[in-house]
Amino acid sequence: MGRPKGSLNKRDNGSLFLTKFEKQVCGSAITRPSSRGWINWGLSNDYPILLLDLYNQSPTHRACVNFAVQSIVGDGVDFDAMKIDGSATVPNYKDTWDDLVRDISLDYILYGSYAIEIIKNKDNKTFSFWHIPLDKVRWSEYDSDGQITSYWICNDWTRTSMFPPIQVDAFDMRDSSKIKQGKPYLYVKRQYSPSMVYYTQPQYQAAIKAIQSEIEYLNYDLKTTVNNFVPCGMLVLNQVETDDERRATIDNIQRMFQGSENANSLLISFKNNQNEEAPSFVPFTTQNGNVNLYDSANQRNVQRILAGHQITTSTLVGIPDIGQSGFSSEADKMEVGYEIYNKIVGNNNRISVIKSLNQMLKMNGIETEVIMKPLTFGNSSSTSMTPTKVDEKTIDNNNVEEKKEGVPVVVQWVKDPILSL
């Protein structure tokens, strides 16, 4: 029987097989309509979970994302410069504006979009604004006019039978007169992504393979260390009768050892005699261990991740720069690096968030433009962030749609306290 097309196992002299343990690297999201009204985000409708896993597992990528978020947030909303009382205006009864800015900024960097739920309060004049985690949101199809008129929200898209998705009308912040009192609407801000009809690609899309590689190197380092740096080798097995039996044996071994968490390649040999003996393992010797072999490759990955986020100075994300920079101090280098980042990326990201904030304030009768306190570096201390404290006694209960009911509409859908509003 011939070797199946595309197999990773190469046969040699009828009894020797080289088995490679590989993981498929996921590419950009595939979008396609579901049978229930929404557009799937990814082949299994779980692409945002993949992006969230990358954020949680890659230390370099996580540092870059956090830095990008901080460059948007700065040291918080500057209510003094705006000449308004920050304690008198809040997006909802639970959050401050600083909270809302940070939440939507994180989604914007992670996914390239963010979502805000809008509810008209009981006074029928003012509005409450809630951040909705974007991984909970799916788009509806475009209508005949080329508009998305609704979105779907689900607490867990991998278990829609347990958490039925809820359809919510889309809202354009330019026209608040159409909002009905007490009814939730969803506003989604998306950045332009070439070739993406639905959803968006994050700005670091081109660095995803490097991010995945860093995660694999971490897994490799951990497993190799835990296994006392046991090298790869050759597994000698007893003779089998048919190619199908060989294939089944190899497939079983691959399933047991596949992935960087199992570290090494394995050469499998089948004996040509009928003698029944216990399987044996012949280790291959290596110099200095495979961990050192991959150290320089992982350093290149770090540089690729930084480039994917357009960060020119690694010290901005906590990675020491051991090269000669020509700056008199580390603070000077960080100042210049941040200025470059701000002009290339940071300002545009901040504008995308502040525009929405301005619209929200305007809907509540506040015409003042939002001003953010900037980040500073160097020996002079940066302006300290003083989050606006929400005193529930100062909030007019008649102006809070959710206060009397206890929780906002979406809180009833999202039960995870980490992801709840």
DSSP 58-71: -HHHHHHHHHHHHH
How high is the pLDDT of residue 134? Answer: 96
pTM: 0.72
Query: CB–CB of 389/96 below 8 Å?
Result: yes
Q: Is the pLDDT at 240 greater than 90, yes or no?
A: no
Q: Residue 8: pLDDT band by 50, 70, 90 thresholds? A: very low
How high is the pLDDT of residue 416? Answer: 34
Domain residue spans of the chain: 34-200+376-412
* Highest-pLDDT range among 148-162, 179-193, 395-409: 148-162
SS (H, E, C) 343-406: HHHHHHHHHHHHHHHHHHHHHCCCCCCCCECCCCCCCCCCCCCCCCCCCHHHCCHHHCHHHHHC
Q: What is the mean pLDDT of the chain?
A: 76
CB-based contacts of 297, cutoff 8 Å, min separation 6: 213, 217
Nearest to 234 by CA among 284, 288, 180, 271: 284
Q: Is the pLDDT at 51 greater than 90, yes or no?
A: yes
How high is the pLDDT of residue 235? Answer: 67
- Of the two residues 403 and 208, the one the predictor is more confident about is 208
Distance between CA 206 and CA 27 in Å, rounded? 10
Query: CB–CB of 111/138 below 8 Å?
Result: no
- Of the two residues 238 and 145, the one the predictor is more confident about is 145
Query: CB–CB of 69/105 below 8 Å?
Result: yes
Question: What is the rounded average pLDDT of the residues 152-168?
Answer: 94
How high is the pLDDT of residue 173? Answer: 65
Sequence-distant contacts of 238-247: CB under 8 A, at least 24 apart: 238/270, 238/271, 238/275, 238/276, 238/277, 238/279, 239/15, 239/270, 239/271, 239/272, 239/273, 239/274, 240/270, 242/1, 243/1, 244/1, 246/17, 246/270, 247/4, 247/9
How high is the pLDDT of residue 133? Answer: 96
Question: What is the rounded average pLDDT of the residues 236-253?
Answer: 75
Q: Is the pLDDT at 406 greater than 70, yes or no?
A: no
How high is the pLDDT of residue 249? Answer: 78
How high is the pLDDT of residue 48? Answer: 92
Spatial strand order of the sheet with 113-120 comes to: 127-132, 113-120, 184-190, 166-170, 150-153, 137-139
CB-based contacts of 12, cutoff 8 Å, min separation 6: 18
